[in-house]
Amino acid sequence: MGDRYDRLRSIVKSAADSAAGAIAEATQAAKLKKTFEELRDRRTRVPARLVARAVLRAGTTSAASVRLVPGRIEISAELASGRSVAAALVPDQVSFAPRGAKEIWFAVDPPDAAAEPAIREMAAMIASSIARAAWNPLLPPMQGEVDGPALVDREEHRLRIDLRTAPAIRSVQSTGKATGLLLDLIEIDRIDVDPSGIAVRIALPKRLG
């Protein structure tokens, strides 16, 4: 009798676990569907005040003036060493691939300022803010005012930044969950600068529509 009861209890538990798993999968699918709908053809932006804050938090920057004009982020900053740096970052290219690189490029004016580590750090901080704006519905709450920097590479007078290296994006991708997969499918169509901030237009790949 005891063996029969144990078998029955095992069958009931297995059925309950299967039902719970099915409910969890359905819930996750519904959540992902809702997120797809929210993200498709969505426009978002990084306000000018957050751009300035990102620059101020870059590396050894002790003071900074940030001016956004159509197409350009103009930066003049003083470093902790007492040196001054100045340059404009111009959104130049977006290169996104599903399950591949998610890169944005800044042209630097004057071109030789691309060699300045402080300018590269500022570009990396701004890029992290762009990543946060684009993927915000999928990310955990920000711990501070701005995220840490992404990784930046210099190619002549341009700076290339893979947004997957932004700390907030790395933290989600490392979980290996469905959210990480959805993150990898999001594309940025274009980035524009105007006096009120950085406008980011994002979309999902057309084949997912």
Handedness of CA 83, 89, 94, 95 (dihedral sign): negative
How far from chain centre, in Å, is Cα 184? Answer: 11
Cα dihedral value 206, 160, 146, 170, nearest 10? 60
pLDDT digits (tens, 9 = 90+) for 82-92: 999 999 999 99
Residue 91 backbone zone (phi > 0: left; psi -120 to 50: alpha; other: beta): beta
Residues of the chain with pLDDT under 50: 5, 8, 11-12, 15, 19-20, 22-26, 209
State residue 32's pLDDT score. 55
Contact 181, 147 (CB under 8 A): no
State residue 135's pLDDT score. 85
What is the reported pTM? 0.77
State residue 141's pLDDT score. 75
State residue 162's pLDDT score. 93
For residue 110, whether the previous peptide bond is cis, meaning omega lies within 30 degrees of 0, is: yes
Residue 59 backbone zone (phi > 0: left; psi -120 to 50: alpha; other: beta): left
State residue 24's pLDDT score. 46
pLDDT digits (tens, 9 = 90+) for 105-138: 999 999 999 999 999 999 999 999 999 888 887 7
